[in-house]
Structure 1
Amino acid sequence: MITVEHLAKAVGEDKNPVLQDIGFQLEPGEFVAILGGSGSGKTTVLRCLALREKWDRGNFRVDGTDIMANAFTGKRKIRREWAYLEQNAELNPNRTALKNVLIGQSAQTPLWRMVTGMVRSDDYMGAMDELDALGLLDKAKMKTSQLSGGERQRVAIARALTHGAKVILADEPVTGLDPKSAESVLETLRKLCKETGLTVVTVLPIELAERFATRLWVLEDGRIKHDIKGRRLTFQERANL
Structure 2
Amino acid sequence: MIRVNHLQKTVDGNKKKVIRDISVQFSAGEMIGVVGASGSGKSILLRCLALRERWTRGDYTWNGENVIQGGGSGSQKYRFKCAYLEQNPSLYPDKTALKNVLIGQAGQTPLLRRLTGMVRSDDYMGAMDELEKYGLLDKAHVKAGNLSGGERQRVAICRALVHGASFLAVDEPVVGLDPKSAERVLDTLKGLCKEQNKIVIAALPLELAERFCTRIWGIHEGQLKIDISARRLTAEERRLIDMA
Could you tell me the TM-score, scaled by structure 1's length?
0.90
C-alpha distance in 1, partners of 2:98/2:71? 33
Map of 1:155 onto structure 2:
155
Kept in 2, the 8 Å contact 1:150–1:175? The answer is no
Map of 1:92 onto structure 2:
92
C-alpha spacing 1:140/1:233, structure 2 compared with 1 (3 Å): same
Query: What's the CA shift string for 1:142-178, capped at 9, x where partnerless?
Result: 2112223333222111111222310001101122222
Map of 1:8 onto structure 2:
8
C-alpha spacing 1:142/1:217, structure 2 compared with 1 (3 Å): same
| Fraction of identical pairs, as percent | 58
C-alpha distance in 2, partners of 1:219/1:55? 18
Kept in 1, the 8 Å contact 2:34–2:218? The answer is yes
Unpaired stretches in structure 2, ≥5 consecutive residues? none
Q: Which amino acid aligns with 2:190?
A: R
Map of 1:174 onto structure 2:
174
Shift of 1:33: 0.6
Kept in 1, the 8 Å contact 2:3–2:26? The answer is yes
C-alpha distance in 1, partners of 2:80/2:73? 10
Kept in 2, the 8 Å contact 1:80–1:107? The answer is no
Residue 112 (structure 2) pairs with residue 80 (structure 1): no
Question: How many residue pairs get matched?
Answer: 241
Shift of 1:202: 0.8
Shift of 1:32: 0.6
Map of 1:127 onto structure 2:
127
C-alpha distance in 2, partners of 1:208/1:143? 30
Shift of 1:90: 1.4
Kept in 1, the 8 Å contact 2:150–2:185? The answer is no
Kept in 2, the 8 Å contact 1:28–1:197? The answer is yes
Residue 59 (structure 2) pairs with residue 59 (structure 1): yes
C-alpha distance in 1, partners of 2:130/2:117? 19
Shift of 1:14: 7.5
Shift of 1:93: 1.8
Secondary structure, aligned partner of 2:68? coil
Q: Which amino acid aligns with 1:22?
A: I
Q: Which amino acid aligns with 1:6?
A: H
Secondary structure, aligned partner of 1:21? strand
Kept in 1, the 8 Å contact 2:51–2:74? The answer is no
Identify which range, 100-109 or 75-84, moves more after superposition: 100-109
Map of 1:146 onto structure 2:
146
C-alpha distance in 2, partners of 1:69/1:134? 37
C-alpha distance in 1, partners of 2:114/2:38? 39
Q: Which amino acid aligns with 2:131?
A: L
Aligned-residue RMSD, C-alpha: 2.4
Shift of 1:37: 0.8
Superposition pairs of residues 187-206 of structure 1, within 5 angstroms: 187-206=187-206
C-alpha distance in 2, partners of 1:37/1:222? 11
Secondary structure, aligned partner of 1:216? strand
Q: Which amino acid aligns with 1:204?
A: L
C-alpha distance in 2, partners of 1:217/1:64? 23
Kept in 2, the 8 Å contact 1:103–1:113? The answer is yes
C-alpha spacing 1:70/1:15, structure 2 compared with 1 (3 Å): closer
Shift of 1:71: 9.6
Kept in 2, the 8 Å contact 1:150–1:176? The answer is no
Q: Which amino acid aligns with 2:61?
A: R
